[in-house]
Every structure is written in structure tokens, then in C-alpha cells.
Amino acid sequence: MKRILWMGSVLFLVVALGFAYQCSRWNLRTVSDEKLSVSFTSFVSAIRGLQRVQLAEVSSTEVIERTSEFSVFWDFLKLPDVVVQARIPVRYVYYVDLNEPFEIIHDGDRLIVTAPPLRAGAPAADVSGISYEVKRGSFFRSSRTAFEELRKMITPLLNESAEKNKALVQEEARRQLAALAKTWTLQSPELKSGIQSVEVRFQNEAGQGTLE
């Protein structure tokens, strides 16, 4: 009889503990109190002035995928590939440097502006929006190493993309610089009534644009 009572007590205790645990899970949000502390430390390494005119901007989402192939025993046994992917929201800006030489020619009713080369600024990635994904994993290989190698590729590939996109924004940059030059001529009593069009050429490029 004592044994039965003892087993019943143990069973009741187990059930009670289980019920209490479930109740604590159900009511966790109402009875718990989570405190977070965020620390942000900034170390300014250098400050320098820039004399630039920003002429164009491109917003894009870049998708970078890296496939890692691996084999052992002199390529006799090929292990499954590991494919990882990063999606990166990024903003590209394009400018001309005012410290570089401009050439401005007044030819009748035209103003011909030869500007410095159009340059790409450092890509500005939205760090909060970057996402990583394992597209294909392997039990025999770690995806962490593949992610680390992928992260090393991001900055060089974004810089390369910024240079490639330069051709896409060149005409828009030309229009913006021509509009800026047109506004400048309106401030000059000698030019504001005589200039009908502004042509802009960037150094090291053959194309030209005209603002009527």
C-alpha cells in the first residue's frame, strides 16, 4: 500500500511539474521581463574635405552566389558542392571632382564644357538589409567557410559593379552637369542672354550631350 501511495505521489509530482512548465511557457510573454543593452562605439580615423559634384545615383540589389567544389584522393572522390548566396541592397553614386581641370569654351550661342572623367564613389551597402542563404549544403562540409569566403568577395565585386554601371548613368550625369552649367550661365550678365545650348563632354569618352 505504501508503495502504491509513493508511486502515486511521484506521478502527481511529475504531472504537476509538467503542468507548471507548460503554464510558464504559455504565460512567458506576460510574466517575463527581457532587458536589452546596445552599445555603439565609433572611432573616427580621419576627416577630409571633398570638392565633388554628385551627378547620378543608382539603387540596386546585388545577388552574389558562390559555389564551392571539393574533391579528395586526387579528384577520385568528389564531395557535394556547397552553394551560398548573399543579397545586398546597395547604392552607387557618380560624380566629377572639382579639383580636376574643366575646360569651358564659349562658341557663339553654345557653351562647350569638357569635364573631368565621371567617377564612381565607394558603393554604400545597406548592412541591415544584407541576407545570406545556403542554397545547397553538404553534411560532409561546413557552410561557414563558404560564407567567410563569400564575404571577402563582396567589396571587390561591388566596386567592379560600380564601374560597370558607369555606362548606364553617363547620359543622366551629362544632363545634370549641362543643367548645372546652364544655371551658372544665367548668373552671368555676359552669357545669360546669348547661350542657347550647353554641350558636355567627359574626358576620355567620345560621346557628347546637348542641353537646349
pLDDT tens for each residue of the chain, 212 residues long? 555 555 555 555 555 555 444 555 555 455 555 566 676 777 777 777 778 889 999 999 999 888 765 555 566 666 566 788 889 999 999 999 989 998 888 888 888 889 999 999 999 999 899 888 877 655 555 667 777 888 888 999 999 999 999 989 999 999 999 988 888 777 776 666 677 788 899 987 755 444 44
Inside any domain, residue 36: no
DSSP H/E element including 20? helix 2-26
Report if pTM > 0.85. Answer: no
Written as nine digits, the cell of 125 is 551597402
Inside any domain, residue 163: yes
Domains: count for the chain? 1
Inside any domain, residue 17: no
User: From CA 191, how far away is CA 81, in angstroms rounded?
Assistant: 66
Inside any domain, residue 106: yes
Inside any domain, residue 93: yes
Inside any domain, residue 2: no
Output the CA angle 105-169-183, nearest 5 degrees.
40
Inside any domain, residue 45: no
User: From CA 177, how far away is CA 137, in angstroms rounded?
Assistant: 49
Provide the domain limits for residue 128: 51-211
